[in-house]
Chain A
Amino acid sequence: MSIEIEHPDRSAVPPREEVLAVRGVSARLGGRQVLSDIDFSISAGEFTGLIGSNGAGKTTLLRVILGSAARSAGSVLVGGAPRSRRNPLIGYVPQKFALDPDLPLRARDLVSLGIDGQRLGFSLPSTARRRAVQEMLDAVGAAELADARVGELSGGEQQRVLIGHALISRPRLLLLDEPLANLDLRSAGEVVSLVARVAREQRVAVLISAHEINPLLPVMDRVVYLAGGRAVHGRAEDVVRGDVLSRLYGHHVDVLRVHGRVLVVAGVGDERTGTHAASDCDPKTSPPTQSVEVLG
């Protein structure tokens, strides 16, 4: 069951050009119900965060949208049409993976593979291709990394190159699975502002999954908050509220705001919904003063 949060301001928003529509999607994984009746949509140029703790079903939802995981109910429309197996409208960066340092690919080669890497045969170098690749490298702030081996770049640099790889074929929807995992705070901030800028400039609808809401707060237009296989969708200020999240989690949750950051704390006195999920916060990337999410 999804809860759509209506907001009084919503009528003031210009007509939405819907790029992604997820309608009543449910999915099972290994006999377990991972997603139940998920409903939301994203418009062109909109930046949506997909928030949930580890195991909440974020990756499964992204895979269902991508078409690489099966859904047991519901429909997914991309650009108004049911998505096909290979959907040129979707750009995708999979969950954190390290590129092999042995890969004989420079950053510009990987971005270039984004143009036609799926095609058989080979293409000869051309000025037009070189220019397109260079423009994309500039757009994702990777111009100075262009000739470095991708496997030898840092995590944040790899993310930027992978985003370039995903964007160069001009998709209308960009799916990023946990791009901030394992990034230090500064790199995470850079990736977030890069994606936000790209969404705005290129009118790309962005869905970015994260177990941490705070790095996304400054730029997020909307949030899809996943817990227990269900989702709440709406503006961050409407969704990340004690009453809404308590309903989603099915038990009392407090939302605290400290210096513009959000802390989601499980209800006091409920042992079953204690603080185990606090381990989601990597102490390296999220020192206690930055953000703590204690999810039930």
Chain B
Amino acid sequence: MTVLHHIVEPGFFGSAPVHRALLVGTIAALVAGPLGVFTVLRGQSFAGEALGDIGTTGGSGAYLVGVGPLWGFLVFNVAAVTVMELIGVQRRRGRDLATGVVLGSGLGLAALFLYLDATHQSTTGTTVTVLFGSLFSVSATTVPIAIGVAAAVLALLLVVGRPLLLACTNAELASARGIPVRLVGYVYLLALSLAVALCALTIGSILSTALLVGPAASALRVSSRPGPAIAAAAVLGVAATWVGVLLAYDSYAWPPHGQGWPLSFFVVSLVLVIYLACGAVSHVARGRRAAPTLVAG
């Protein structure tokens, strides 16, 4: 029992904010991992990062008009991917340019909104909450919205997953099969924008890419099959989130006393640890396989 107390600070299992944090964090990770697999394959980590950053605009704007930050993340992210699509994301370079242009203008607005938040409410808490997340202070009304958004993302992914996978394999191969590659890409970006909004709620807007891309990249290192890779990404993300929540709760008992370390720090660090561990695992596994299969074709 004393050992458990060293790992889990008293009150962890009985606290309502902890329950909510675990629930919302799990939802976000469950959605981010699978979607992140496609983000990695499409080389769109930058778009994911940009969406996270633009979430800053949405989150700070939401405080300004007095609604929950999730609404701000959602509205601005969906708007951002639509503008990115309109500017032209179908070519890789155009995609980066479109992302950069939208990102720049979005962050300009964020600077204004955060300034207004700080001057109107004379608090710097908003900035920290939006940028780095505040999972323990997620309101009870946000939970059903988060569940609904997550369900929508997973449903979208289930529907377009297969053609999307083929489009990731090779766009020409996909379009020869009659797949509307651009439309599929836009649907994916929409799902991505929703997933990033959920991540922003968990670990903050500027760190949301870590939860999106990290578990997915780790899963791709250890699994060669689409289904298991997607499942592994979800599981690894959930694991990082749970352990992160636990450590963040425990950290209230750490120095400097009574403050609590940022949850996002723990989650992001754990994601990095998982990524490195998966790299080591695949290195060992491949080294073992390489010898018999190394036949030049």
A interface residue numbers (CB < 8 A to B): 66, 68, 85-87, 90, 92-95, 97, 99-100, 102-106, 109-110, 113, 116-123, 147-149, 153-157, 162, 165, 187
A109 to B40, CA, bound (A): 19
Q: Which of B120-128, B164-172, B267-275 contacts A (4 or more CB under 8 A)?
A: B164-172
> Given A118-B178, A155-B297, do A104 and B170 touch, yes or no (CB 8 Å)?
no
Closest Cβ neighbor of B296 among chain A residues: A154
CB neighbours of B297 from chain A (8 A): 153-157, 187
Q: Does B225 contact A (CB under 8 A)?
A: yes
CB neighbours of B225 from chain A (8 A): 104-106, 109
Chain B interface, DSSP helix/strand/loop, else mixed: helix
Count A-B contacts at CB 8 Å: 95
B170→A122 contact, CB < 8 A: no
Q: Does B206 contact A (CB under 8 A)?
A: no
How distant is B164 from chain A, measured CB to nearest CB, in Å? 10
CB neighbours of A162 from chain B (8 A): 173
> Given A113-B166, A118-B178, do A105 and B224 touch, yes or no (CB 8 Å)?
yes
CB neighbours of A105 from chain B (8 A): 165, 169, 224-226
A104 to B33, CA, bound (A): 14
A99→B170 contact, CB < 8 A: yes
B162→A100 contact, CB < 8 A: no
Q: Which of B74-82, B109-117, B153-161, B240-248 contacts A (4 or more CB under 8 A)?
A: B153-161
How distant is B225 from chain A, measured CB to nearest CB, in Å? 6
A137 to B293, CA, bound (A): 17
A29 to B107, CA, bound (A): 40
Pick from A68, A104, A119: contact of B37, CB under 8 Å:
A104
B162→A120 contact, CB < 8 A: yes
A68 to B179, CA, bound (A): 12
Closest Cβ neighbor of B178 among chain A residues: A86
How distant is A61 from chain B, measured CB to nearest CB, in Å? 15
Would you list 20 pairs from A and B whose C-beta atoms are within 8 A, ordered by A residue?
A68-B175, A90-B176, A94-B172, A94-B173, A95-B172, A97-B172, A102-B40, A102-B220, A103-B41, A103-B168, A104-B220, A104-B228, A106-B225, A113-B169, A117-B163, A120-B160, A147-B224, A155-B297, A156-B297, A187-B297
CB neighbours of A106 from chain B (8 A): 224-225
Q: How does the 8 Å CB contact mask read for B167-204 relative to A, with 1 for contact and 0 for none?
A: 01110111111110000000000000000000000000
> Given A120-B163, A122-B161, A157-B297, do A104 and B229 touch, yes or no (CB 8 Å)?
yes
The 10 tightest CB contacts between A and B, nearest first, are A86-B178, A154-B297, A104-B229, A94-B172, A118-B177, A117-B166, A92-B176, A149-B224, A156-B297, A157-B297
